[in-house]
Structure 1
């Protein structure tokens, strides 16, 4: 169970606040006003701290509980502004658009691509094939992963395809993340951005039906992940 000791509000109120932030296109000041209208006086900075603390924990549990995904992947990156500078959000979905993983990186280079591919494979297993864009860094990153697979005796490597139109499903999927983060007008810290986006992605997985619902609402599933 996620620890809620020391908080000034009931667990349900905190979870609703975090859920609203990562589900809807609102800023922290908007959320502060929404809660005030409902009799909950909480500063926007406190809301930010709760999201940064709880969102990645819930996201980890969502990853552990997500349904089995396909072995054909689509990988691409989009842009997120942090401290006034563009950073790179690597994201992966399977051929059906189901979320696999994500990673925020300060650079779009070989090291960043290789780190993301290794991380995604560590969580989801080795795919049969991966579709990427024409990025040389992404190609080199996957080739480096294939070298590792050969050296560790996995017995097979990943088929790499660079076909732009096959990644349309992922480019469309980026839109939900961008729509939710846009009102935040850029993040002030890298760790805060990474934590918040992890929560946004977790809710996106819930909306896609990647976590068994048994008739529960999106918020009920979100709260259950925090239990």
Structure 2
């Protein structure tokens, strides 16, 4: 118990040094031997403290390099769980208005860039990247950096959260032709400078996407029910008694 308390004391002391700026993110902690001397404890105690700090995501141990301080995790963001449905709804709300705003400010060069990415999507040439760039061009065309920042973060969520990546994988390859038509409708509305049509076209795109997500989720749930029923059927089957 004494040893346990001791290494937690060391954890608290090192965290205090990190938080006070003595060891900023990216810096390397002193070697184990020096830390043991500094805190007047054994090297195994320091080793246990480093393990605890690593679990707390305060440091990263790099083999043959040392122990490095990392950015303190944002607990609110760390615990925040975003579903594919929430992301799609948020995208519809923000990007619908972004399309309407861009209709009045998009340049000829940006329309040409949109068309280039539209052609790539229609030809199936790196379609996912072309899709991302298509939406990014529209957000930049709003001339509003807050909107651009929001759309970039939406894509970051889509590409980094496993639950969202899996959900989008289930639907992005379905209704490919519809996906192409929706993006062409958005492009045509922007080219015409029609804010209301651009907003509606963007909303229709995301409405189809969110309904596809529901369909895919239902299909997956039904498949899971069937799998469990088959397992139960095999477990309790009396076929071997009546055959």
TM-score of the superposed pair, with normalisation by structure 2: 0.23
Q: Which has the larger radius of gyration?
A: 2
More strand by proportion, 1 or 2?
Answer: 1
Higher relative contact order (CA 8 A, sep 6+): 1
Whose helix proportion is higher, 1 or 2?
Answer: 2
